Structure 1
Amino acid sequence: MKKHDSSAAAGLGATKFNRRSFLGLAGISAVALSTAGLLTSCGKGAGTAQVTSSSGLAESVAKVVPSFIPMDLVTPDIASVNGSTPGYVTIPDKLVKSVTEVPGKGGKYKAMTPAWWTVPPALADNSYYQAVNKAIGATVDFQVNDGNSYGDKIQTVLASPKDVPDWVVIPSWNLPPRFSQAVTSVFEDLSPHLAGDKIKKYPNLANLPTAAWKYGAFAGGLYGLPYPSTLITDAFFYRKDVFTELGLEAPKTADEYISIAKELTDPAKKRWGSEDVWSGAQIMFGVAPKWKLVDGALVNKIETDEYRAALEWIAKLFASGAVHPDAVAGNQQQSKSRFESGASLMASDGLGSWHESLGRVLPTNPKYDMAPMDFFAPDGGDPTLFRGSPASIFSFIKKNSDSAKIEEMLSLANFFAAPFGTEENQLINYGVEGVHFTKDSQNIPQSTDKGLAEVTSTYSFLVSPPVVNSKVQYPGYVKTASEWEARQAPFVVEEQFFGLQIEEPNKFGSLGKPFDDLAKDIARGRKKISDLDTEIATWKKNGGDELREFYTGFLSA
């Protein structure tokens, strides 16, 4: 699964966000990762149903999850609503020190992480790494790998347990086959150190959301240190500056979207109304990411009325001629550049693409205004939005008989998890002031050349604090983004198996692939909506009904 390119933007704060927004925030959405709603993770396990973690009432998980002890260091300017991301429109003048003593005891650890950007210099030539290691009183030596092939790297490393580094980062989409079996033999169960009130020893870790911890529970133990995710990952975006210039407002119904897209389209001006918005269409029509309970029975996403209606709508949009020809041809790699240049004026993308886009375009086009639409149901009523996974990345500590080393690594993790408004958080995300960044007249960190070359997300991949929006580089962005998310939050619901790590039998691994191709063909008129019925019948015959039984077992459990 390839991630988007991370372009450097003006200012270190912008660079920080670029390097972290490869997740669902930036186009890797819950919709994209669930594909045809048939796989819950990249791992495919043995033939018996096995819940490896739960965000519900599973007693086994409840026993290993840490207590939640929130920290209230800096009051947000835009408060969280139903779990939306709180916003900070200024950087505090005075930062809090959340870790009062040096956490490390001189330990030396190898850590393996992915990168979807230029790999920074290694420890010996990286003053950022050296500064952080000095602050924590220990040495973390990173082995940074290409994120695009990281899944293969993980499987290779885990196949030889003696070669597994001390600390291993694994994105949720890179969890390998039968991981719930491998995790118990390779990695350390952290519940003896963190479960319940034991977490009080590590206050920054205790500040992490419970759902994120539960998502890191495998095989009856607590193994993953989480990188928490946002409540909402995707949006419909439009070029508000061009809309205003043309006297148009953002659409508020499915039909309006198509009519406005047609009105915007002018091939003579090389301008089209829309990109391929299949992922957004599924959100608009309230398509469940995987399964939906209907009259007490599980119905797969592909079998729902909502999925069929979304397909019919996307086909109608393509037939209108308002979709950019390159998108019709299947070229999604350039969709961002088409939108930013004004060649297309509406698109669906991850929320992280918003801030990244401002960094790329505003320096040369100060009038550029990328804005998210408020979500709407097809008829203009209230939308149904499904919450994304509570965590997108985990790190795992290699099994170790020396409890002192495990406790030292957890103390380091507590440092890395320091929230916004702390000295530790500034160091992890920006480096050393005067070396890796300076502050402008508004107290906003701006990177130096050394900061651009050396500062990266490696430490925060090991564990990350609760998500906040403090991206103050562009006036009005934090307020607009946080208030937008707060307006959408009341419509967010949890899908049927929210927060469950479920490994499917290996034979179901490619069951959903035909629906990816079918959706593309129906949208482009190469196949008809009636072909969906044929494909569903084949899906049922080839294992769909058996897969339904597999998941139904979790309902009774």
Structure 2
Amino acid sequence: MKKKLAKIIGVNVLVASQILLAACSNNNEQASGDTEKYDPESKVEVNWTAILHTASPPTDVVLKEIEEATNSTINFNWVPDASKEERITAALASGELSDIVSLTMMTNSSVRQSLKTGMFWDVEKYLDDYDNLKLISEDIRTAASIDGKLYGVPFQKDLARSGLLLRKDWLDNLGLEVPKTLDELFEVARAFTEDDPDGNGKDDTVAFSDRSDLRYSSFKTLSSYFGTPNGWQVEEDGTFTPEFETQAYKDTMNYSRDLYKNGYLDQDFAVTAKTDQQQKFAQGKAGIYTGMVDIKNLKTMAEGIQDEMEIVPINKIESPDGGNHIWSENSGVGGLMAFPKSEVKTEAELKRLLQFINDLIDEEVFMMMTGGIEGTHYETDSNGAFTILDNDLWQKDVQPFSSSRPSEITHSLVDADPSKQLVNELIKENAEFAVLDPTVPLDSETANERGTELEKIIVDATIKYIMGEIDEKAFDEAVDKWKKSGGDAMAKEYEEAYKKAQG
């Protein structure tokens, strides 16, 4: 633990020194090149550091089509999602960056620090010059900004995508209804674990397939159902309270602790990666999965293994207050496509890259990055319903591109798979009761410098509590450590930034 912490601190220090050097040198570089004319029709070579959410990078089949449509040559530097924190942080520290860097970890200390210190271009004043980029809403621009500056093109996402997927065939086998309350969900979890839901006569199922990432595991979604604020709560007097100091957060911990104690929550969740979590569900070892957007992937993974699988998506579990709540992922912002000044040295180069991003949002290219090549990877019927023709081919040629689409909301598809289309509709409905994180558009120097390190204190304590390794007193001691290590300072800084923003 000490070695790992020392490594994190060392990297952060290195990031800071590299950032200052980059900020100084790049001012001189831009001064000499800003008079260069911008030619939107010129072919552009793009080096792009992007996040890979699949096991393998895509083939070149669809890439060539994207390049032709955008008049570009694209060189992807794919960073696996599981190692993005370490890889992106190291790249920021070393200065070994690409023309475009996908920064999806907007709360990461090193990322925020690099953005604040001028390492990347502020693109706000350029967006309205492009037909697609000008459509980015003011709310999304504000949420993606730091100190009023927009250091990249925001990845546009739906406001709130979270929810649960349950084995509908297991519910039917056990004579159970789709749960509507937390108590009903707990009973389903019990039955999925104890009552042989697949009817094979073996004690070989668990309810919740889960993973170590508290944000995207069951915990954050369950926390929403209990009415926990998203990250922070703004009190009536303008002060900020962290979510883990609320009773709703502790109620969620106790609920998850009971799930774990009874064996209804994957006993290996603390060391399980997303792909393994998906495999356990697809192989029929688990019956509840957090993440509605993954429904089609899970069904595809289950082909030939669990062909009888039926999945029902759920976006509403009634909270103790009688309402519905679901956390919003960064207020509809999935991160930034940022342009390092060390690589993009002139305004003309920046404008050409912005044209490239703008072109990626065109419906033609959006469909390439979503479905692939019509007639080869997908087809649409007379009603416009979208169908993948060959899942294996689509996964190899197309799927890895989907997470790099600049916008998931500019165009909408009617999915020929009724369950996936239902998920799309439920995600839209989530916007009606989405809970926003009030700190997304705010800045805190402490969060920039030590936010990731401080977050780890709480994450570790929460996981240990769920697993029964510590009691409530020990958890409260971890919270006190968080406060003394910078948490109180962070809360004060957010309070000041909030009052300043309120005018």
1:313 paired with 2:255, answer yes
2:438 is aligned, of 496, 502, 522, to 496
| 1:214-225 alignment runs, 5 A limit | 214-225=142-153
TM-score, L = length of structure 2: 0.75
CA–CA distance in structure 1, aligned partners of residues 135 and 203 of structure 2: 52
Match of 1:231 among 133, 137, 159: 159
Following superposition, the deviation at residue 427 of structure 1 comes to 3.4
Structure 1 residue identity aligned to 2:78: V
Matched position secondary structure for 1:177: helix
For residue 248 of structure 1, report the CA deviation from its aligned partner: 0.5
Counterpart contact for 2:162–2:326, Cα < 8 Å: no
The structure whose RCO (Cα within 8 Å, separation 6+) is larger is 1
SS at match of 2:415: coil
Say whether 1:416 aligns with 2:360: yes
Correspondence for 1:292: 233
Of 36, 42, 45, 1:105 maps to 42
Paired residue for 2:466, among 523, 528, 538? 523
Q: Which of these residues, 184, 195, 212, is aligned with residue 256 of structure 1?
A: 184
Taking only the aligned residue pairs, the percentage that are identical comes to 19
Please name the residue that 2:475 is paired with: 532
Structure 1 window deviating more from structure 2 (459-468 vs 494-503): it is 459-468
- Residues 226 and 249, structure 2, Cα contact 8 Å, conserved in 1: yes
Task: Tell me whether 1:266 sits opposite 2:195 in the alignment.
Answer: yes
Report the CA distance between 1:246 and its aligned residue.
1.8
Structure 2 partner of 1:387: 328
Aligned mates of 2:411, 2:205 — CA distance in 1: 36
Residue in structure 2 matched with residue 149 of structure 1 by the alignment:
83
Larger proportion of helix = 2
Q: Does 1:463 align with 2:395?
A: no
C-alpha change, 1:164 and 1:527, in structure 2 (3 Å) is: closer
Query: Deviations 1:421-442 (Å, cap 9, x if unpaired)?
Result: x3333334444446x5363777
Deviation (angstroms), 1:243: 0.5
Aligned residue identity for 2:357: A
Give the conservation status (yes or no) of the 8 Å contact 1:128–1:454. Answer: yes
* Counterparts of 1:175 and 1:513, CA distance in 2: 11
Mapping of residues 360-509 of structure 1, within 5 Å: 360-362=301-303, 364-379=305-320, 381-389=322-330, 390-399=332-341, 400=344, 402-418=346-362, 422-433=363-374, 437=377, 439=379, 444-447=387-390, 453-455=396-398, 457-458=400-401, 461=404, 463-466=406-409, 470=413, 472-474=415-417, 476-500=418-442, 502-503=444-445, 504=447, 506-507=449-450, 509=452
- Unaligned stretches of 5+ residues in structure 1: 1-41, 47-101
Cα pair distance change 1:401/1:251, threshold 3 Å: closer
Aligned position for 1:357: 298
The alpha-carbon distance between structure 1 residues 505 and 437, as it changes in their structure 2 partners (threshold 3 A), is closer
Alignment of 1:46-195 (within 5 A): 104-117=41-54, 118-120=56-58, 126-159=60-93, 161=95, 163-173=96-106, 177=110, 179-180=112-113, 185-194=118-127
User: Given the superposition, is the C-alpha separation of residues 128 and 337 from structure 1 closer, same or farther in structure 2, using an over 3 Å criterion?
Assistant: closer
**Partner residue in 1 for 2:136:** 208
Counterpart residue identity of residue 335, structure 1: Q
Confirm or deny that 1:303 pairs with 2:303: no
CA contact (8 A) 2:442 2:494 kept: no
Cα deviation for residue 479 of structure 1 reads 3.7
Relative to structure 1, the CA distance from residue 452 to residue 316 in structure 2 (aligned partners, 3 Å threshold; closer, same or farther) is: closer
Q: Is the alpha carbon distance of 1:380 and 1:145 closer, same or farther for their aligned partners in structure 2, counting shifts above 3 Å?
A: closer
Q: CA separation in 2, counterparts of 1:515 and 1:105?
A: 50
Amino acid at match of 1:133: E
Letter in 2 for 1:550: E
Structure-2 separation of matches of 1:431 and 1:439? 10
TM-score under structure 1 length normalisation:
0.69
Q: Deviations over 1:51-86 (max 9, x none)?
A: xxxxxxxxxxxxxxxxxxxxxxxxxxxxxxxxxxxx
Aligned equivalents of 1:449, 1:295: Cα separation in 2: 53
Which stretch of structure 1 is more off in the superposition, 254-263 or 465-474? 465-474
What is the CA-CA distance between 1:311 and the residue it aligns to?
A: 1.9
Which residue pairs with 1:96 in the alignment?
Answer: none
C-alpha separation between the residues in 2 aligned to 1:353 and 1:228? 18
Amino acid at match of 1:506: E
Report deviation, 1:299.
1.7
Structure 2: segments with no counterpart, 5+ residues: 1-11, 17-38, 197-201, 211-217
The CA distance in 1 between the partners of 2:151 and 2:272, in whole Å, is: 39
Distance 1:458 1:241 in 2: 32
Instruction: Note closer, same or farther for the CA distance 1:354–1:44 as it changes in structure 2 (3 Å cut).
Output: farther
CA contact (8 A) 1:318 1:524 kept: yes
Q: How many angstroms does 1:231 deviate by?
A: 1.8
The answer on whether the counterparts of 1:45 and 1:178 sit within 8 Å (CA) in structure 2 is no
The residue that corresponds to 1:22 in the other structure is none
The 1-side partners of 2:420 and 2:405 are apart by 26
How far off is 1:304 after superposition? 0.8
In the TM superposition, residue 305 of structure 1 has moved relative to its aligned partner by 1.2
Aligned to 1:17: none
Change (3 A) 1:510 1:357: same
Provide closer, same or farther for how the CA distance between residues 499 and 368 of structure 1 changes in structure 2, counting only shifts above 3 A. farther
Contact 1:283–1:384, Cα closer than 8 Å, also in 2: yes
Change (3 A) 1:183 1:443: same
Q: Please name the residue that 1:31 is paired with.
A: none
Amino acid at match of 1:132: I
* CA distance, structure 2, for counterparts of residue 449 and residue 217 of structure 1: 39
Q: How many residues align?
A: 444
* Maintained 8 Å contact 2:260/2:267: no
Secondary structure of the structure 2 residue equivalent to 1:352 = helix
Could you tell me which amino acid in structure 2 is paired with residue 513 of structure 1?
Answer: K
Code of the residue aligned with 2:53 in structure 1: it is W
- The residue number in structure 2 matching 1:511 is 454
Stretch deviating more after TM superposition (535-544 or 172-181): 172-181
Distance 1:143 1:485 in 2: 31
User: Contact between 2:227 and 2:325, CA under 8 Å: does it hold in 1?
Assistant: yes
